[in-house]
Amino acid sequence: MLRRVDRVQAVVADRQATATAFRRLLDAEVVRDDRLQLLSARRTVLRLGSSEVELLEPDGSGMAAEFLSQTKGGLFAAGFATADIAQLRTHLQGRGVSVAEEGAQLFLSPQQLGLPGLQTAISTDREQAAVGLVRCLYEVTLLVQDFSSVVNESAATFSLDPAYFVPIRSEEYGYEGALTLFHPHRLDRIEVITPYDPAKTMGRFFAKRGPSLYMCYCEADDLTAIRNRLREHAPGAWTGPGDGTAPDNIFIHPTALGGMMLGVSRTTFAWTWSGHPERVTPNASS
Q: Over the stretch 107-124, which tens digit does the pLDDT of each residue have?
A: 999 999 999 999 999 999
Mean pLDDT computed over every residue of the chain? 96
pLDDT band at 283 (very low <50, low <70, confident <90, very high): confident
CATH code for position 81: 3.10.180.10
Residue 179 backbone phi and psi in degrees, to 5: -100, 115
Please, are residues 10 and 258 in contact by the beta-carbon 8 Å criterion?
A: yes
Considering the domain boundaries, does residue 14 fall inside one?
Answer: yes
Considering the domain boundaries, does residue 285 fall inside one?
Answer: no
Q: Over the stretch 179-224, which tens digit does the pLDDT of each residue have?
A: 999 999 999 999 999 999 999 999 999 999 999 999 999 999 999 9
Q: Over the stretch 221-266, which tens digit does the pLDDT of each residue have?
A: 999 999 999 999 999 999 999 887 889 999 999 999 999 999 999 9
Considering the domain boundaries, does residue 284 fall inside one?
Answer: no
Interior/surface letters 85-112, b for 16+ CB within 10 angstroms, e for the rest:
beebbebbeeeebebeeeeebbbbebeb
- Share above pLDDT 90 across residues of the chain, in percent, rounded to a whole number: 97
Considering the domain boundaries, does residue 86 fall inside one?
Answer: yes
According to the model, what pLDDT value does residue 285 have? 63
Structural domains in the chain (count): 1
Q: Domain of residue 59: give its range.
A: 2-279
Give the least confident one: 10-19, 46-55, 243-252.
243-252
Please, are residues 228 and 250 in contact by the beta-carbon 8 Å criterion?
A: no
Give the global pTM. 0.97
DSSP string for 183-236: STTS--EEEEEEE--TTSHHHHHHHHH-SEEEEEEEEES-HHHHHHHHHHH-TT
Considering the domain boundaries, does residue 183 fall inside one?
Answer: yes
- Dist. CA 225–CA 56, nearest whole Å: 28
Give me the amino acid identity at 9.
Answer: Q
In this predicted structure, the answer to whether residue 286 has a pLDDT above a threshold of 80 is: no
